[in-house]
């Protein structure tokens, strides 16, 4: 059998003995006896255990009158009665005879964590009751002491019988002493001094390790400081001091503190061990088992909060045994793997474990009840705290040595690196020269390629402008052709009509030279009739009106072309966006083919500072796309709605159509250069890219809303005063 198996087997055997004692202790009483305790000595208190008669109250309903008539009491055979962990109440009956020379004696119950105590003292033929315990405020006690102390009014050379009713959720151990005031308080004073020394050790180790934490900045010292704090509070709670000094008027907290601190000290110990011994690195499987122990302690704490004290206390005891075995096993396994701090840990934890074992053996009368056995657990914890502090101090030395070794190794590596670098520099310099010449050649090639790319980009932009100009020229040619047709078609008829008029005028001229006058007038009237003189005048008026309308429309087209191009304006100037849109629409009238309805929703907007020709180019490109989108949908009610508006410091233009619309994927790419949805040869893909560049150069913003099959809306936002934004 391996050493590990032997340790586990011995520890489990020990736990089995302990828990069998805990669970079976109440059944170990003998027959009733009425032997009184005789108090003679004035200097030393007497243990009352062997003079006590016990009665277990199953129903917990008996009162003092019922107990006075009860004949089922059994005698305790132990100096310190051990009644186990029980949900029942216990009645204690004992008699005291006073031969000490004092009229009053004291009874001290040195078990601070008893939930409820009722002390019945004889008075005037009946019994007077005093109630105390952890369920009551500290101020309710007869004596302000962490132990429960009661007066025993027994006069000199007389004997009196007393009763105690006790109930608690923890293990019910009853180390009860009887003596004079002097002996009882001197005994307590000695224990207070011992506990004061223990507190001093805990405080010193707490602040020492806290100082190390702030100096070294290593979290392991913080874990250890927390562990020291909880182990000190746990030992103080077991001895009852927090109920006296920390929360004297909070019975619930006082009752709960034993359970909570017992859980917290084990949890902090587990966390410290996991970090200190690097359990995840050395024993990963056993490291994971600690999570189950943590869960069990959390359950115990919750049960204590819910006042299910018996089960909670049993879980605390059981978990404490498991934690003890876990820590011994982990320390032993890691020590075997050569990790030096495990040696200090095993040494410190062994002191703590020995102190716990002696304390438990004392409770079961295997060892005697005295100052040594009563304080072995605090002493063991103090030794553990000191030894583990030494271990952490040694950790600093270890880290220092590791740092020195690491620094030496680093210096050696640096020296080696320096040698390698010097050797490599020679090689690198030659390679650098080679690469430099190559990079220079590459740089020249890249510059040439960049120049070519810029030229190509300029040519593409010019191509897009030429495409727009071609479209614009075609529109102008078509628009000018209509009024010119008016003029050209009217010239020949007008010439013929004027010739007819001239003939009539010539005939009138002949009237002055020929006779008779009446004959000539008839010939003139006949000529007017043949030439349809009235229609001739009406036709001349119509043709003159047609020529005038053609001239007007030609002038309008020329004016719109001038407003659109603004070739003479290369600086920022105030511009009316409504006028620019109208000029663009005149030039695009031919491309609509009568299939697109233009709806204008202009508002009274101020003129803005801009480059008018560039802004008109924006309108041209967007409107061209909108017209093509509407015509591509092939509907009879195609419409483009153009709106202008003013908002804060910007002027906006909305161009909305009910064309084919765009998908989200297409909408994300429309401003990319060379992206187009048109067939090859129908577009360069630069139109909207130029739009985006122009709007950006004007410090403006463009939004696009589109849905396939519904239509598209472009919204332009241009600042009123571009000069102020520079």
Quickly list H helices, 511-576: 517-530, 533-565
Backbone angles phi, psi at 684, to 5 degrees: -90, -15
Cα 220 to the center of its chain, rounded Å? 26
**What pLDDT band is residue 702 in, cutting at 50, 70 and 90?**
very high
Question: Six-digit token pair at 43?
Answer: 């200097």
Cα–Cα distance, 342 to 328 (Å, whole number): 10
Q: What is the 3-state secondary structure (H, E, C) of 489-503?
A: HHHHHHHHHHHHHHH
Q: Residue 712: which of 666, 651, 647 has the closest Cα? A: 666
What pLDDT shows up at residue 27? 40
What pLDDT shows up at residue 249? 81
Correct CATH for 17-179 of 3.40.50.300, 2.60.40.2380, 2.60.40.420, 2.60.40.10: 2.60.40.2380
Judge whether 562 and 538 are in contact, CB under 8 Å: no
What pLDDT shows up at residue 518? 58
Q: What is the DSSP letter of 25?
A: G
Cα(first)–Cα(last) distance of the chain, in Å? 89
| Highest-pLDDT range among 114-128, 249-263, 490-504 | 114-128
What pLDDT shows up at residue 472? 59
Instruction: Please determine, for residue 605, whether its predicted confidence score (pLDDT) is greater than 70.
Output: yes
- Residue with the bigger pLDDT between 485 and 58: it is 58
Q: Residue 278: which of 322, 337, 230, 216 has the closest Cα? A: 337
What is the rounded average pLDDT of the residues 595-605? 90
Q: What is the pTM of this model?
A: 0.49
Widest Cα–Cα separation across the chain: 193
Cα–Cα distance, 615 to 627 (Å, whole number): 18
Cα–Cα distance, 356 to 381 (Å, whole number): 9
**What residue ranges do the domains of the chain occupy?**
17-179, 190-398, 450-565, 568-725
CATH top-level class of 568-725: alpha beta
Question: Six-digit token pair at 236?
Answer: 């103080």
Q: Residue 20: which of 90, 84, 80 has the closest Cα? A: 84
Contacts 24+ apart (CB under 8 A), 299-302: 300/259, 300/263, 301/259, 301/260, 301/263
Least confident of 351-360, 483-492, 630-639: 483-492
Q: How big is the CA angle at 48 (ends 63 and 87), to the nearest 5 degrees? A: 45
Q: Assign 395 to helix, strand or coil.
A: helix
Cα–Cα distance, 68 to 162 (Å, whole number): 10
What pLDDT shows up at residue 641? 93
Question: Six-digit token pair at 377?
Answer: 């657990």
Judge whether 643 and 616 are in contact, CB under 8 Å: no
Q: Which residues pair with 715 in a beta bridge?
A: 654, 703
Instruction: Please determine, for residue 9, whether its predicted confidence score (pLDDT) is greater than 50.
Output: no
pLDDT for 519-539, tens place per residue? 566 777 777 777 667 776 776
Question: Six-digit token pair at 713?
Answer: 């809306």
Cα–Cα distance, 226 to 388 (Å, whole number): 13
How far is residue 207 from each of residues 224, 232, 522, measured CA to CA in Å? 11, 13, 144
pLDDT for 352-375, tens place per residue? 677 667 766 665 556 666 666 666
Cα 539 to the center of its chain, rounded Å? 89
Which helix (H) or strand (E) segment holds residue 645: the answer is: strand 639-647
What pLDDT shows up at residue 347? 76
Cα–Cα distance, 167 to 568 (Å, whole number): 108
- Residue with the bigger pLDDT between 19 and 198: it is 198
Buried b (16+ CB within 10 A) or exposed e, 519-538: ebeeebeeebeebebeebee
Question: Six-digit token pair at 605?
Answer: 């907007």
Q: Which residues pair with 601 in a beta bridge?
A: 643
Mean pLDDT of the chain: 77
CATH top-level class of 450-565: mainly alpha
Q: How many residues does this entry show for the chain?
A: 726
What pLDDT shows up at residue 360? 62
What pLDDT shows up at residue 473? 58
């Amino acid at each position: 059998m391996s050493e590990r198996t032997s340790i586990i087997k011995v520890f489990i055997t020990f736990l089995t003995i302990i828990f069998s004692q805990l669970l079976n202790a109440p059944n170990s009483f003998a027959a009733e006896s009425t032997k009184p305790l005789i108090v003679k000595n004035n200097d030393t208190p007497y243990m009352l255990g062997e003079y006590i008669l016990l009665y277990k109250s199953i129903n917990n309903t008996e009162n003092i009158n019922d107990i006075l008539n009860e004949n089922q009491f059994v005698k305790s055979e132990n100096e310190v009665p051990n009644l186990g962990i029980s949900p029942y109440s216990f009645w204690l009956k004992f008699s005291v005879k006073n031969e000490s020379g004092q009229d009053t004696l004291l009874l001290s119950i040195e078990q601070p964590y008893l939930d409820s105590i009722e002390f019945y003292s004889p008075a005037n033929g009946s019994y007077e009751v005093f109630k105390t315990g952890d369920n009551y405020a500290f101020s309710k006690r007869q004596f302000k002491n962490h132990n429960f102390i009661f007066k025993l009014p027994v006069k000199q050379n007389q004997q009196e019988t007393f009763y105690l009713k006790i109930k608690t959720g923890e293990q019910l151990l009853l180390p009860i002493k009887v003596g004079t005031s002097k002996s009882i308080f001197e005994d307590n004073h000695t224990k207070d001094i011992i506990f004061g020394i223990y507190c001093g050790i805990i405080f010193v180790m707490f602040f020492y390790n806290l100082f190390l934490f702030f100096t070294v900045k290593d979290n392991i010292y913080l874990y250890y400081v927390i562990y020291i704090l909880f182990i000190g509070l746990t030992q103080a709670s077991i001895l009852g001091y927090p109920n006296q000094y920390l929360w004297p008027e909070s019975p619930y907290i006082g009752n709960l503190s034993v359970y909570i601190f017992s859980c917290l000290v084990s949890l902090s110990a587990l966390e410290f061990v996991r970090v200190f011994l690097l359990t995840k690195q050395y024993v990963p499987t056993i490291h994971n088992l600690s999570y189950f122990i943590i869960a069990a302690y959390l359950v115990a704490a919750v049960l204590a909060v819910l006042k299910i004290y018996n089960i909670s206390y049993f879980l605390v005891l059981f978990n404490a045994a498991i934690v003890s075995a876990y820590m011994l096993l982990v320390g032993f396994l890691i020590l075997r793997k050569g990790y030096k701090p495990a040696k200090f840990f095993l040494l410190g934890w062994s002191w703590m474990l020995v102190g716990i074992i002696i304390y438990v053996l004392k409770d079961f009368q295997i060892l005697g009840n005295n100052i040594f056995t009563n304080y072995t657990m605090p002493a063991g914890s103090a030794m553990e705290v000191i030894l583990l502090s030494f271990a952490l101090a040694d950790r600093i030395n270890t880290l220092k040595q590791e740092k020195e070794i690491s620094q030496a190794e680093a210096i050696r590596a640096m020296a080696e690196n320096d040698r390698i670098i010097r050797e490599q520099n020679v090689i690198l310099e030659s390679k650098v020269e080679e690469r430099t010449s190559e990079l220079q050649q590459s740089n020249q090639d890249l510059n040439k390629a960049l120049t070519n790319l810029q030229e190509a980009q300029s040519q593409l932009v010019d191509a897009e402008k030429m495409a727009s100009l071609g479209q614009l020229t075609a529109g102008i040619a078509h628009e000018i052709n209509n009024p010119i047709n008016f003029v050209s078609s009217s010239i020949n008829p007008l010439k013929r009509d004027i010739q007819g008029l001239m003939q009539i005028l010539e005939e009138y001229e002949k009237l002055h030279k020929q006779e008779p006058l009446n004959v000539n007038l008839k010939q003139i009237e006949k000529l007017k009739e043949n030439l349809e003189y009235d229609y001739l005048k009406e036709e001349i008026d119509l043709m003159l009106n047609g020529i005038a309308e053609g001239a007007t429309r030609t002038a309008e087209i020329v004016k719109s072309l001038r407003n659109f191009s603004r070739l003479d304006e290369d600086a920022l100037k105030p511009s009316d966006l409504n006028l620019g849109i109208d000029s663009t629409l005149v030039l695009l009238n031919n491309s609509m083919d009568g299939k697109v309805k233009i709806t204008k929703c202009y508002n009274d907007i101020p003129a803005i500072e801009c480059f008018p020709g560039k802004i008109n180019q924006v309108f041209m490109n967007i409107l061209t796309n909108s017209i093509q989108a509407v015509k591509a949908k092939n509907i009879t009610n195609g419409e483009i709605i153009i709106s202008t508006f003013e908002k804060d410091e910007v002027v906006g233009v909305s161009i909305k159509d009910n064309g084919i619309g765009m998908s989200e994927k297409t909408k994300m790419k429309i401003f990319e250069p060379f992206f187009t949805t048109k067939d090859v040869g129908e577009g360069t893909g630069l139109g909207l890219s130029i739009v985006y560049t122009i709007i950006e150069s004007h410090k403006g913003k463009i939004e696009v809303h589109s849905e396939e099959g519904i239509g598209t809306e472009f919204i332009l936002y241009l600042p009123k005063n571009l000069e102020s934004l520079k």
